[in-house]
Amino acid sequence: MSKLRWGMIGGGHGSQIGPAHRLGALADGRFEFVAGALDHRPEKGRAYAQRLGIGADRAYGDWTEMLAGEKDRDDRVDLVTVATPNATHFEITKAFLEAGFNVLCEKPMTMSVEEGQDIVRVAEASGKICAVNYCYSAYPMVRQARAMVRAGEIGKVRLVVTNFAHGHHGDATDADNPRVRWRYDPDMAGASGQFADCGIHALHMASFICDDEVEKLSADFASTIASRQLEDDAMVNFRMSGGAVGRLWTSSVAIGRQHGFDIQVFGETGGLRWASEQPNQLIYTPVGGRTQIIEKGEAGLHADAQRLSRVSIAHPEGFPLAVANIYCDLADAIAGEPRDGLPNAAAGLRSMAAVHGAVASARAGGAWVDARPPMFR
């Protein structure tokens, strides 16, 4: 299995989403990171790309340079990720699709509906993949929820209720912080603030799990911090094609909420609940029955949920990244910058001494024994 070639536009040093894309692309060893235009400052972008292991010839200064450089190569990238500021998604995505590249675009895909329709047509004409990073829909237990709804396990969907609320923009004294301010400035963010930023994840997930589309909606927007032109809090009621009622609340001033994304789906014969902070579990209640906890990795999950579960049931969601942190510390140590926390051979030895001590103690009816390795006594 040779690796696919991957390139990224945006996501440079200090980017919030860039590291998640790199980890996402590299984690399974199926992509090789070979090209990038990572920063709007060409020199910084080229330098950072090379620090990440990209060859100098494919460390591009901007996306046009990258498009020009890649499009005629035999070993052109198999996939381009677009992780640039929102307003640029459209033209970059369109250009790469037209040149025959597969594209993964950060959300929102475009700023206007017209641009969106344009992308749909271009993608179709190109025959290439155009994906949007609604990544919450790729959690195994979200896939399980979708599969259960499609299999009729909760009956016809009556109601879907979803929230995406955080409080990270709740401090009015921080409202002029540039990392915050642009989100509520129509010149930079477009027509919508918090709903376009987080709410659309929730709306997508409602469609995704219900396997149905939003048909009409009614919205109430509020700018609870007066200096904001765009909403920092929104409630959207909607109806889906199949008749389901929808409720969506999103907020960035919900002080105390960190990652408050959850969804509940209620059908004629059952209800489902999932939350991003307990991603390992899907809560299921059959009508008239007891609530059940469906665990990631358990036997009998739908195929898509099983395929994406990665580690076996005894290991919680964050486990592989804890292993990755061990490798981080190892890389640093190999590079001559040892990290304090790396478990060493002495730690391994102490464990064995404790194991043998415990065996001896248990055999002696719980007698207290020295737990230290002889060499450390």
Question: Within positions 213 to 242, which residues make up the interface with a copy of itself, using CB under 8 A?
Answer: 213-222, 224-225, 231, 233-238
DSSP letters spanning 66-103: HHHHHHT-TT--SEEEEES-GGGHHHHHHHHHHTT-EE
**Neighbour tally for 300: CB within 10 Å:** 7
Closest CB 84 distance from a copy of itself, rounded Å: 15
Quick check: 274 binds a copy of itself (CB under 8 A)? no
Q: How far apart are CA 42 and CA 60, in angstroms?
A: 7
Question: Which span (36-44, 57-65, 67-75, 201-209) binds a copy of itself, by CB under 8 A?
Answer: 201-209
Long-range (24+ apart) CB contacts under 8 A made by 19-28 are 20/135, 21/81, 21/83, 21/133, 22/52, 23/324, 24/135, 25/79, 25/81, 27/320
How many whole angstroms separate alpha carbon 12 and alpha carbon 5? 18
**Among 68, 191, 227, 242, contact with a copy of itself (rule: CB under 8 A):** 191
Nearer to a copy of itself, 42 or 316 (CB): 316
**Cβ–Cβ contacts within 10 Å for residue 304, how many?**
15
Site for a copy of itself contains 314 (CB under 8 A): yes
Judged by CB under 8 A, which of 87, 161, 175, 188 binds a copy of itself?
161
Residues 282-311 that bind a copy of itself (CB under 8 A): 283-288, 290-295, 298, 304, 308, 310-311
Which of residues 207, 228, 262, 274 is near a copy of itself by CB under 8 A?
Answer: 207
Closest approach of a copy of itself to the CB of residue 175, in Å:
11
Classified as helix, coil or strand, 274 is: strand
Q: How many C-beta atoms lie closer than 10 Å to residue 117's C-beta?
A: 11
Residues in 81-140 at the binding interface with a copy of itself, rule: CB under 8 A? 102, 104-105, 107-113, 115-117, 119-120, 123, 129-140
x-or-dash string of contact with a copy of itself, 322-351, rule CB under 8 A: xxxxxxxxxx-xxx---xxxxxxxxxxxxx
DSSP state of 3: P
Distance CA 260, CA 215 (A): 25
Q: In terms of CB distance, is 185 or 215 closer to a copy of itself?
A: 215
Q: Which is nearer to a copy of itself, 64 or 117 (CB)?
A: 117
47-86 residues near a copy of itself, rule: CB under 8 A? 50-53, 78-79
Q: Is 143 in the site for a copy of itself (CB under 8 A)?
A: yes
* 14: contact with a copy of itself by CB under 8 A: no
CB nearer to a copy of itself: pick between 63 and 136 = 136
Q: What are phi and psi of 33, to 5 degrees?
A: -90, 100
Burial track 333-370 (b if 16+ CB lie within 10 A, e otherwise): eeeeeeeeeeeeeeeeebeebeeebeeeeeeeeeeebe
CB of 42 to a copy of itself, least distance (A): 20
Q: Which of 96, 184, 249, 274 binds a copy of itself (CB under 8 A)?
A: 249
